[in-house]
Amino acid sequence: MRIAMIVHGGAWAIPDDQVEAHLAGCRAALAAGWAVLESGGSARDACEVAVRLLEDDPTFDAGTGSHLTAAGSVELDAAMMDGQSLRYGAVASLRRVRNPIVLAHRLLHGPATFLVGEGAERYAAAQGMALCENSELVVERERALWEQWRASQTATAASGLQHTLGGRDTVGAIALDQSGNLVAANSTGGTPLKLPGRVGDTPLIGCGLYADAQIGAAVCTGWGEAIVRVALARRVVDLLERGLAPQSAAEAAVRILNRRVAGGTGGCIVLTPDGRPGLAWNTRRMAYAYRSGAGEPVVGV
């Protein structure tokens, strides 16, 4: 069985001066996940390792360095879905968990599959995960932008800051292991200056991600509210089931997002059970990296 993996670092108007950092982050995440797969490890572990690395890289809107809410804090969402069992684990509105993807992975086998807020954090602590202070997740770049917005307190200024930040962003990964399992995972800090408690597509199965080891897997990124309205990840897998190639399915799904939802911006990555990748976006750029079988890594924006 050939192994394969694809990761993304968000679909948005990545500025020229941030391209290299996004490429480096995706390249490193792919390499970390690939090392797990190559050594015979599971797709679940490969996805956790890759996404955790992206959460720890302040370049991305996930984990440390995430956008701040309107209240000036970080709130994190993440999910993982196993394509063989169709089990999933999801978390949302976390303020004290440094790597939400680790908790999402642990929830794959219950006792609950979707935990939020303080309840999720209490469960994490009970599982022996160390909690952090919310301030440890905040970087100076995001604090300065929040202070700028707070000083102006106008919708126009908020809109301008969202444009500067790229507006919407996520990180994600899909892995195919030697046993033939496909796993999808993602993580996000959400939109900049979001209302506290806001949850987008990321932890919603069928919207931000979906995996079926018999058909394929997809992970989405972009404007969460638009992605949810078309159930984008499940739509990609449906297109695969109808016989479309992964690249065609990705492109068709993004066209649907653009056509059916005004301002529907975003992208997706796809992987099939035979290791074929696909990816598409309608934003200026999307950071990505993938590798399949004996092929060389491909990295781009």
The catalytic residues are 170
Q: 6, 271 in Cβ contact below 8 A?
A: yes
Three-state DSSP at 60 gives coil
Comparing CA positions, the residue from 217, 163, 294, 159 lying closest to residue 8 is 217
Compute CA distances 80 → 32, 44, 123, 171, 263, whole Å: 17, 8, 17, 12, 27
Q: What distance lies between CA 156 and its chain's CA centroid?
A: 28
Cα separation, 106 vs 129, in Å, equals 11
